[in-house]
Amino acid sequence: MSDDLLVDVPRERDVVEHRLLHDGRVWDLVSDTVRLDDGDVVREYVDHPGAVAVIALDDDDRVLLLAQYRHPARHVLWEPPAGLLDVENEELVVAAARELAEEADLVAGRWWRLVEFFSSPGGSDERITVFLARDLTPVPEADRYVRGEEEADMVPVWVPLDDAVAGVMAGRLHCPTTVTGVLAAAAARATGWSGLVEVTPS
Protein backbone atom coordinates (compact mmCIF):
# COMPACT_ATOMS: atom_id res chain seq x y z
CA MET A 1 0.00 0.00 0.00
CA SER A 2 1.37 3.42 -0.93
CA ASP A 3 1.92 6.09 1.72
CA ASP A 4 -0.74 8.37 0.24
CA LEU A 5 -3.38 5.66 0.76
CA LEU A 6 -2.34 4.82 4.33
CA VAL A 7 -4.14 7.72 5.98
CA ASP A 8 -6.92 8.00 8.55
CA VAL A 9 -9.97 9.57 6.89
CA PRO A 10 -12.37 11.93 8.70
CA ARG A 11 -15.95 10.82 8.18
CA GLU A 12 -19.18 12.10 9.69
CA ARG A 13 -22.17 9.84 10.35
CA ASP A 14 -25.68 11.14 11.00
CA VAL A 15 -26.30 11.59 14.72
CA VAL A 16 -29.98 10.89 15.32
CA GLU A 17 -29.84 11.83 19.01
CA HIS A 18 -27.21 13.40 21.26
CA ARG A 19 -27.63 13.27 25.05
CA LEU A 20 -25.54 14.60 27.93
CA LEU A 21 -25.26 11.83 30.52
CA HIS A 22 -22.91 13.59 32.93
CA ASP A 23 -21.74 17.21 33.06
CA GLY A 24 -18.18 16.83 34.33
CA ARG A 25 -15.72 19.31 35.80
CA VAL A 26 -13.25 18.89 32.93
CA TRP A 27 -15.02 16.65 30.37
CA ASP A 28 -18.51 15.26 29.86
CA LEU A 29 -19.98 11.81 29.31
CA VAL A 30 -22.33 11.82 26.32
CA SER A 31 -24.46 9.38 24.35
CA ASP A 32 -24.97 9.50 20.57
CA THR A 33 -27.42 7.47 18.54
CA VAL A 34 -25.52 7.11 15.26
CA ARG A 35 -26.95 6.01 11.93
CA LEU A 36 -24.69 3.40 10.30
CA ASP A 37 -25.20 1.48 7.05
CA ASP A 38 -26.92 -1.42 8.80
CA GLY A 39 -28.97 0.58 11.33
CA ASP A 40 -28.75 2.85 14.35
CA VAL A 41 -26.32 2.21 17.20
CA VAL A 42 -25.77 3.92 20.56
CA ARG A 43 -22.25 5.02 21.49
CA GLU A 44 -21.35 6.49 24.87
CA TYR A 45 -18.05 8.34 25.11
CA VAL A 46 -16.09 11.04 26.89
CA ASP A 47 -16.50 14.43 25.20
CA HIS A 48 -13.02 15.91 25.69
CA PRO A 49 -11.63 19.38 24.83
CA GLY A 50 -8.35 17.92 23.55
CA ALA A 51 -4.81 18.38 24.80
CA VAL A 52 -1.23 19.20 23.89
CA ALA A 53 2.07 17.75 25.10
CA VAL A 54 5.68 18.85 24.75
CA ILE A 55 8.77 16.76 24.11
CA ALA A 56 11.39 19.22 25.33
CA LEU A 57 14.92 18.26 24.28
CA ASP A 58 18.06 19.97 25.53
CA ASP A 59 21.33 20.31 23.61
CA ASP A 60 22.39 16.82 24.75
CA ASP A 61 19.20 15.20 23.41
CA ARG A 62 17.83 14.67 26.90
CA VAL A 63 14.05 14.74 27.24
CA LEU A 64 12.27 16.38 30.17
CA LEU A 65 9.86 14.09 32.03
CA LEU A 66 7.75 14.92 35.07
CA ALA A 67 6.51 12.48 37.70
CA GLN A 68 2.79 13.04 38.26
CA TYR A 69 0.17 11.06 40.18
CA ARG A 70 -2.75 9.95 38.00
CA HIS A 71 -5.61 8.78 40.16
CA PRO A 72 -7.68 6.76 37.62
CA ALA A 73 -4.57 4.70 36.80
CA ARG A 74 -3.43 4.58 40.47
CA HIS A 75 0.10 5.29 39.27
CA VAL A 76 2.76 7.95 39.39
CA LEU A 77 3.62 8.28 35.71
CA TRP A 78 6.60 9.87 33.98
CA GLU A 79 5.08 12.35 31.54
CA PRO A 80 6.15 15.23 29.32
CA PRO A 81 4.69 18.66 30.10
CA ALA A 82 1.10 18.58 28.87
CA GLY A 83 -2.31 20.10 29.39
CA LEU A 84 -5.87 20.60 28.25
CA LEU A 85 -7.05 22.88 25.48
CA ASP A 86 -9.09 24.85 27.97
CA VAL A 87 -8.46 28.39 26.68
CA GLU A 88 -10.98 29.36 24.00
CA ASN A 89 -9.52 29.74 20.47
CA GLU A 90 -5.96 29.26 21.72
CA GLU A 91 -3.54 28.03 19.04
CA LEU A 92 -2.18 24.55 19.72
CA VAL A 93 1.47 25.62 19.82
CA VAL A 94 0.58 28.57 22.09
CA ALA A 95 -1.13 26.13 24.46
CA ALA A 96 1.97 23.94 24.35
CA ALA A 97 4.21 26.90 25.15
CA ARG A 98 1.93 27.84 28.05
CA GLU A 99 2.07 24.32 29.47
CA LEU A 100 5.85 24.15 29.12
CA ALA A 101 6.17 27.40 31.08
CA GLU A 102 3.60 26.44 33.71
CA GLU A 103 4.77 22.87 34.35
CA ALA A 104 8.50 23.08 33.65
CA ASP A 105 9.44 26.77 34.02
CA LEU A 106 10.89 26.71 30.49
CA VAL A 107 10.60 28.74 27.30
CA ALA A 108 11.49 27.21 23.92
CA GLY A 109 13.08 29.17 21.10
CA ARG A 110 12.00 26.70 18.40
CA TRP A 111 8.93 24.48 17.98
CA TRP A 112 7.93 21.66 15.64
CA ARG A 113 4.72 19.64 15.33
CA LEU A 114 5.91 16.12 16.21
CA VAL A 115 2.91 13.77 16.20
CA GLU A 116 -0.85 13.72 16.75
CA PHE A 117 -3.08 10.93 18.02
CA PHE A 118 -6.43 9.99 19.53
CA SER A 119 -5.83 8.74 23.08
CA SER A 120 -8.72 6.25 23.17
CA PRO A 121 -10.83 6.49 19.99
CA GLY A 122 -13.29 3.81 21.07
CA GLY A 123 -14.28 5.69 24.21
CA SER A 124 -13.23 9.33 23.89
CA ASP A 125 -12.88 12.03 21.23
CA GLU A 126 -9.70 13.33 22.92
CA ARG A 127 -7.09 14.34 20.35
CA ILE A 128 -3.55 15.08 21.55
CA THR A 129 -0.98 17.06 19.57
CA VAL A 130 2.63 16.57 20.65
CA PHE A 131 5.22 19.23 19.89
CA LEU A 132 9.00 19.12 19.90
CA ALA A 133 10.57 22.06 21.73
CA ARG A 134 14.25 23.05 21.60
CA ASP A 135 16.53 26.02 22.41
CA LEU A 136 15.28 25.98 25.98
CA THR A 137 15.75 28.78 28.53
CA PRO A 138 14.32 29.14 32.05
CA VAL A 139 11.34 31.34 32.86
CA PRO A 140 12.52 34.22 35.10
CA GLU A 141 11.95 33.44 38.77
CA ALA A 142 9.51 36.33 39.25
CA ASP A 143 7.33 35.18 36.33
CA ARG A 144 6.98 31.51 37.26
CA TYR A 145 3.58 29.88 37.56
CA VAL A 146 2.50 28.70 41.02
CA ARG A 147 1.55 25.02 40.65
CA GLY A 148 -1.21 23.36 42.71
CA GLU A 149 -3.08 20.06 43.19
CA GLU A 150 -1.29 17.14 41.47
CA GLU A 151 1.09 19.55 39.73
CA ALA A 152 2.48 20.79 43.05
CA ASP A 153 4.38 17.54 43.64
CA MET A 154 5.71 17.01 40.11
CA VAL A 155 9.36 15.93 40.02
CA PRO A 156 11.30 16.87 36.85
CA VAL A 157 14.13 14.77 35.42
CA TRP A 158 16.21 15.02 32.26
CA VAL A 159 16.54 11.63 30.61
CA PRO A 160 18.65 10.76 27.54
CA LEU A 161 16.22 10.18 24.68
CA ASP A 162 17.66 6.70 24.09
CA ASP A 163 17.04 5.79 27.75
CA ALA A 164 13.45 7.01 27.48
CA VAL A 165 12.94 4.89 24.37
CA ALA A 166 14.40 1.89 26.21
CA GLY A 167 12.01 2.53 29.11
CA VAL A 168 9.05 2.53 26.73
CA MET A 169 10.12 -0.65 24.96
CA ALA A 170 10.79 -2.43 28.27
CA GLY A 171 7.30 -1.59 29.54
CA ARG A 172 8.50 0.71 32.33
CA LEU A 173 6.85 3.86 30.94
CA HIS A 174 3.11 3.83 30.26
CA CYS A 175 1.84 7.39 29.79
CA PRO A 176 0.51 7.64 26.19
CA THR A 177 2.10 11.04 25.55
CA THR A 178 5.44 9.70 26.80
CA VAL A 179 5.21 6.50 24.76
CA THR A 180 4.09 8.26 21.58
CA GLY A 181 6.23 11.36 22.03
CA VAL A 182 9.59 9.76 22.76
CA LEU A 183 9.18 7.13 20.03
CA ALA A 184 8.19 9.84 17.53
CA ALA A 185 11.16 11.98 18.60
CA ALA A 186 13.54 9.03 18.17
CA ALA A 187 12.07 8.27 14.73
CA ALA A 188 12.39 11.93 13.70
CA ARG A 189 15.99 12.08 14.93
CA ALA A 190 16.82 8.96 12.88
CA THR A 191 15.84 10.85 9.72
CA GLY A 192 17.76 13.97 10.73
CA TRP A 193 14.58 15.77 11.83
CA SER A 194 13.87 16.32 8.12
CA GLY A 195 10.16 15.49 8.13
CA LEU A 196 9.04 17.87 10.87
CA VAL A 197 7.11 21.08 10.29
CA GLU A 198 8.39 24.04 12.30
CA VAL A 199 5.74 26.24 13.90
CA THR A 200 5.91 29.56 15.71
CA PRO A 201 3.72 30.64 18.65
CA SER A 202 1.99 33.90 17.74
Residue 62 parent element (H or E): strand 62-70
Which listed residue (91, 102, 116, 151) is catalytic? 151
Is 90 known to be catalytic?
no
Going from the C-alpha of 88 to that of each of 10, 92, 95, the distances in angstroms are 23, 11, 10
Query: What is the three-class DSSP state of 89?
Result: coil
Phi (first) and psi of residue 169, to 5 degrees: -70, -25
For strands 62-70 and 155-160, give the pairing: antiparallel
- CB count within 10 Å of CB 119 equals 17
CB 83 within 8 A of CB 62: no
Residue 167 parent element (H or E): helix 161-169
**CA–CA distance, 134 with 121 (Å, rounded to integer):** 30
The number of helix segments (H) and strand segments (E) in the chain equals 3, 11
**CA–CA distance, 14 with 40 (Å, rounded to integer):** 9
Catalytic residues: 151
